Amino acid sequence: MKTPVKKTPVIENKKSRRNYEILETLEAGIVLTGSEVKSLRLGRAEITDAHAVPQKTELMLINLRIDPYENAGYVNHEETRSRKLLLHKKEIIKLISRIREKRLAVIPLKIYFNDRGKVKVLLGIGRGKKLSDQRQDERKQEAKREIERALKEANRK
């Protein structure tokens, strides 16, 4: 009999789609220590303030907060250290040129474990929304909800 597969949590950045207009997504690996991976398996991370910054020919993830793992002992990790993102060099160079040319931002949308158990980061490449754009999107969402409610009420009768 097979043992049930334990579902690992997906850490999402819920504010990212509200604050940024995501133009493209990209999957990248990330360099982590053992205690960080164990903490991620418990779903103990915060990515709302995180963003990726180019440094020479590397892409670093800054402000990703991974809580310390309780059972790690004295070999625990720093909560908010810079972490290197793993992409092919050509992809990094292309991405860095697009970021600088069009003044785009690279935001982590999601951190998850793939089928092979590796930690992956779904990066969103986008432009920051202005406050008026955010309000307009909220109005559209509210109108959509109202229509759905009205249709649901009509179908009940």
pLDDT tens digit sequence for 42-90 = 888 889 888 899 888 889 999 988 888 888 777 777 778 889 999 999 9
Question: pTM, whole model, 2 decimals?
Answer: 0.78
State CA 90 to chain mean position distance: 22
Q: How confident is the model at residue 134 (pLDDT cuts 50, 70, 90)?
A: confident
Q: How confident is the model at residue 109 (pLDDT cuts 50, 70, 90)?
A: very high
Q: In terms of C-beta density within 10 A (0-12 exposed, 13-18 middle, 19 or more buried), how is residue 146 classed?
A: exposed
Predicted local confidence at residue 56, as pLDDT: 84
Averaged over 24-40, what is the pLDDT? 89
Cα–Cα distance for residue pair 7/115, rounded to 1 Å = 11
Q: Which domains does the chain have, with CATH numbers?
A: 11-129 (2.40.280.10)
Token pair 């310390």: residue: 68
